[in-house]
Amino acid sequence: MIPELPLTLIASLERRLITATSIAISPFTGSAQLQDWGGEWWEYQIEMAQTRGRDGRRLAAFFAELGGPRGRFLFRDPSIAQSPGAGEPVVDGAGQSGNTLATRGWVPNAPALLAGDFLSLGSDSATRLHQVTTDATADATGRATLALVPKLRASPADAAPLEIAAPAALLRLTAAVATRIGRVESYRFSFTAREAL
C-alpha cells in the first residue's frame, strides 16, 4: 500500500512537466540540433504551511518514514480545481499508447474535459497523472478522445476507470526533508519530488 501525503495546508507549489530532451549547438554555425528521447515526467517543489504541535510531528514522521528518495507516496495536488464532465468515464479499448486516450462513459454530446484539466490512471504504484491539452466533447455515444501529457507510459486496460475528481501523482522525494522547528513548536516543511517511474 502506497502512503498518501496527509494534506495539510500548502503554502505554495510549483509543478513542472519535464521532457528528456537535449540541444546541441554548433560552435561554427549556431544551428541547434534537438534530441528528443521521449521521456516525460512531473516534478514538484512544495512549501507546506506552518503547522503546530502534534500535526507538525505527524507530518515529520510521514517524511521520516519515506526515508528520503527510497519511499514513494501519492499526492493529490490541491491546486487542481476543475469542473470535469459528468458521467463515469473509463478507458475505451486496450493497447493504447502515445499522447491520446480513447474514453467512454461520458454524458453524450457534452463537454468531457477541457484543456488544462487533469486525470489520473491506475492505482497505488501504477498511478500516473496526466493533463489534457485540448478541449474534448463526448459524442452521441458518450465517447471522447483525450489529448494529454505526459505520454502514456503503459497501455491502460480496457474499462480502467479515470480519476477526475481528485487526480493523484505517484511521487518520490529527491532528497530527505528537513524538519524546521521554530518558536512555540511551529513546524515548517518544504520539499522537492519527482514522479516515481
CA-CA distance, 52 to 188, in Å (whole number)?
9
Q: Is residue 48 part of a domain?
A: yes
CATH number at residue 160: 2.40.30.290
Judge if 103 and 56 occupy the same domain. Answer: no
Q: Is residue 153 part of a domain?
A: yes
How open is the CA angle 157-159-162, to the nearest 5 degrees? Answer: 90
What is the predicted pLDDT for the residue at 21? Answer: 80
Judge if 59 and 94 occupy the same domain. Answer: no
Judge if 186 and 123 occupy the same domain. Answer: no
Q: What is the pLDDT of residues 89-148, one digit of tens each?
A: 999 999 999 999 999 999 999 999 999 999 999 999 999 999 999 999 999 999 999 999
Judge if 26 and 58 occupy the same domain. Answer: yes
Q: Is residue 4 part of a domain?
A: no
Judge if 45 and 91 occupy the same domain. Answer: no
Q: What is the pLDDT of residues 95-107, one digit of tens each?
A: 999 999 999 999 9
Q: What is the pLDDT of residues 59-88, one digit of tens each?
A: 999 999 999 999 999 999 888 877 666 789
Q: What is the pLDDT of residues 3-44, one digit of tens each?
A: 999 877 889 999 999 998 888 888 888 888 887 777 899 999
Judge if 122 and 102 occupy the same domain. Answer: yes
CA-CA distance, 170 to 126, in Å (whole number)?
8
pTM: 0.88
